[in-house]
Structure 1
Amino acid sequence: MKLIRYTFIFTLFCILLSCSSDNESSDDQDPQNEDIYFPPLNSDTWETKTISELNWNEDQLQPLLDFLEEKNTKGFIILHNGKIVVEEYMNDHNSNAIWYWASAGKTLTTALSGIAEDEGFIDISNKVSDYVGTGWTNAPLEKENLITCKHLLSMSSGLDDEAGDDISPANLNYIADAGTRWAYHNVYVKMQDVVAEATNQTWDDYFNLKLKAPIGMSGSWFALGSLNVYWSNTRSMARFGLLTYANGMWEDQQIVSEAYLNEATNTSQDINLAYGYLWWLNGKSSYHLPQSQVEFPGKLIQDAPNDMYAALGKNDQKIYVVPSKKLVVIRMGESADEENFALSTFDNDLWIKINALID
Structure 2
Amino acid sequence: MKAFALLLALTMGPTWAETWPEPDWPIDNAAFDWQSVDSYAFPERNAGERSGIRTDALLIIRDGRILHERYIAPTTADTAHLTWSVSKSVLATVLGVAQGEGRFQLQDPAARYYPPMQAHPDVRLADLLHWASGLDWQEDYEYAPLKSSVVAMLYTRGRNDMAAYTAARNTAEKPGQRFLYSSGDSNVLAGALRGMLDAGSYADYPWQALFTPLSIESAVWERDGAGNFVGSSYLYLSARDLARIGLLMQRDGRWQGRQLLPASWVAFNRTLFDQAAAMPGEANPGGHWWLNRPMPGSPTPWPDAPTDTYAALGHWGQALYIVPSQKLLIVRYADDRGASYSHNELLKRVLAALAGEGA
Q: Percent identity?
A: 23
Instruction: Determine if the alignment matches structure 1 residue 67 to structure 2 residue 48.
Output: no
Instruction: Give, in whole Å, the separation in 2 of the partners of 1:320 and 1:132.
Output: 31
Q: In structure 2, what is the equivalent of residue 290 of structure 1?
A: none
Letter paired with 1:282: N
Letter paired with 1:316: G
**CA-to-aligned-CA distance 1:292-351 (integer Å, 9 cap, x gap):** xxxx9312222222110111110110111101111011101211x506xxxx74212212
| TM-score computed with the length of structure 2 as normaliser | 0.77
Q: Within 5 Å, which residues of 2 pair with 1:1-359? A: 35-40=17-22, 43=23, 45-52=24-31, 58-59=32-33, 61-70=34-43, 71-133=53-115, 135-136=116-117, 141=119, 144-162=120-138, 163-165=148-150, 166=153, 167=162, 168-169=165-166, 171-186=168-183, 187-200=185-198, 201-217=200-216, 218-223=218-223, 227-228=230-231, 229-272=234-277, 274-285=284-295, 297-335=298-336, 338=338, 345-359=341-355
Instruction: Give, in whole Å, the separation in 2 of the partners of 1:281 and 1:169.
Output: 25
Deviation at 1:115, TM superposition (A): 1.2
**Shift in alpha-carbon separation, 1:315–1:127, aligned structure 2, 3 A:** same
Deviation at 1:246, TM superposition (A): 0.9
Deviation at 1:191, TM superposition (A): 1.1
Instruction: Give, in whole Å, the separation in 2 of the partners of 1:169 and 1:245.
Output: 32
Instruction: Give, in whole Å, the separation in 1 of the partners of 2:323 and 2:190.
Output: 27
Instruction: Give, in whole Å, the separation in 2 of the partners of 1:192 and 1:347.
Output: 28
Instruction: Give, in whole Å, the separation in 2 of the partners of 1:34 and 1:349.
Output: 35
Letter paired with 1:195: L
Instruction: Give, in whole Å, the separation in 1 of the partners of 2:181 and 2:261.
Output: 24
Instruction: Give, in whole Å, the separation in 2 of the partners of 1:323 and 1:352.
Output: 15
- Corresponding residue SS for 1:215: coil
Letter paired with 1:177: K
Report if aligned partners of 1:315, 1:333 keep a CA contact under 8 Å in 2: yes
**Shift in alpha-carbon separation, 1:271–1:169, aligned structure 2, 3 A:** closer
Instruction: Give, in whole Å, the separation in 1 of the partners of 2:149 and 2:263.
Output: 34
Letter paired with 1:49: D
**Shift in alpha-carbon separation, 1:78–1:169, aligned structure 2, 3 A:** closer
**CA-to-aligned-CA distance 1:233-285 (integer Å, 9 cap, x gap):** 11011111111101111100111111111111111343347211111110313
Gap regions ≥5 residues in structure 2: 1-14, 44-52, 139-147, 154-161, 279-283
Deviation at 1:358, TM superposition (A): 1.5
Instruction: Give, in whole Å, the separation in 2 of the partners of 1:35 and 1:189.
Output: 39
Structure with higher RCO (Cα < 8 A, 6+ apart): 2
Structure ID, larger Rg: 1
- Corresponding residue SS for 2:342: helix
Instruction: Give, in whole Å, the separation in 2 of the partners of 1:251 and 1:193.
Output: 30
- Corresponding residue SS for 1:136: helix
Gap regions ≥5 residues in structure 1: 1-32, 53-57, 287-295
Q: In structure 2, what is the equivalent of residue 289 of structure 1?
A: none
Instruction: Give, in whole Å, the separation in 2 of the partners of 1:299 and 1:271.
Output: 14
Instruction: Give, in whole Å, the separation in 1 of the partners of 2:323 and 2:167.
Output: 40
**Shift in alpha-carbon separation, 1:34–1:87, aligned structure 2, 3 A:** farther
Instruction: Give, in whole Å, the separation in 1 of the partners of 2:301 and 2:320.
Output: 15
Deviation at 1:212, TM superposition (A): 0.4
